[in-house]
Amino acid sequence: MFNKISYLYISLTVLFWGSTAAVGKLLLTNLNNFQLLFFISLFGTISLFIIVLIQKKIEIIKTYNLRNYCYFALMGFIGVFLYHALLFAGLSVAPASEVFIVNYTWPIWVVVFAVIIMKEKLNINKILAIIICFIGVYVVVTHGDFFNFSGININGDLFALAGAISYGLFSVMGQRYNYEVFTSMMFYFGFSFIYTLIFTVAFSTIPIVTSYEIIGLIWMGVFATGLAFAVWFLAIKHGDIIEMSNIVFITPFISLIYIYFLLGEEILLFSVIGLIIIILGIFLNNNWRKHD
């Protein structure tokens, strides 16, 4: 029973996470990256607060002190605000498929920061996995024209890569401190909302959104973030974490399906080939780490 329900949870996780690039790109038609993140942070905070209430974890919040809140503020800046601001900035200037694929290199940055912060040993297997991933990125950004750099979406690709680096750092820092996942994530999104509010007021305006945009923003804030985060942890609670992590590799392929049908964006052959190479590098690293 537990094994079967874990597949339901991981399937929902993949479906929710996979929609991020396509729905985000649609919303960026009339919103800028800070305006989009303003609503996502707001709805994400609300949805996670509801989950905390349902799970009766309010008492845990009472145990947090000033030091904990300083940590939440830092993590909210790195892993929610900065990550999404960079991802959405990339989506606003480059094809969604390319941005999402480059951004999906974040697991390899986990390896890099684990070596730097957690003092994990850097061995030949990890170096090989990193090299494989960056070969995949090179295939994606050059569109298979390996010696012609004129067609590279330099701004979009750099935003996507910077977002991946940010999320890799966030993931490693999250491993270092063992806070309760839902309450801490609620505070990450809450602090992200504060940062986004400041940036939106300072450099933009809080927009009036249409009913269709509200639907998309609720989807992004509730399902693609808060609820996705919840079902992901339910999946690894009821199933094998390595097996569930390997299934998550389907996410970027699901994202390409969303992108094709929602955006009508052409999916290039070399984008798929590059994605497969990136996932191969991440998969090999995950399995090699089990035997370290």
Sequential pLDDT tens for the chain (292 residues): 457 788 898 899 999 999 999 999 999 999 999 999 999 999 999 999 999 999 899 999 999 999 999 999 999 999 999 999 999 999 999 999 899 988 988 888 888 888 888 888 878 888 888 888 888 888 888 877 777 666 678 898 999 999 999 998 998 888 777 788 889 999 999 999 999 999 999 988 988 899 999 999 999 999 998 888 888 878 877 877 667 777 888 888 899 999 999 999 988 888 899 889 988 888 777 766 555 5
Residues 6+ apart with CB under 8 A from 288: 125, 126, 129
Burial of 7 (0-12, 13-18, 19+ CB in 10 A): middle
Number of structural domains found in the chain: 1
The answer to whether 20 and 36 are in contact (CB under 8 A) is: no
Residue whose C-alpha is closest to residue 95's, from 149, 42, 155, 49: 155
Predicted model pTM = 0.88
Domain that holds residue 207: 2-290
Q: How far does Cα 26 stand from its chain's mean position?
A: 17
Q: How far is CA 16 from CA 224, 253, 275, in A?
A: 5, 13, 19
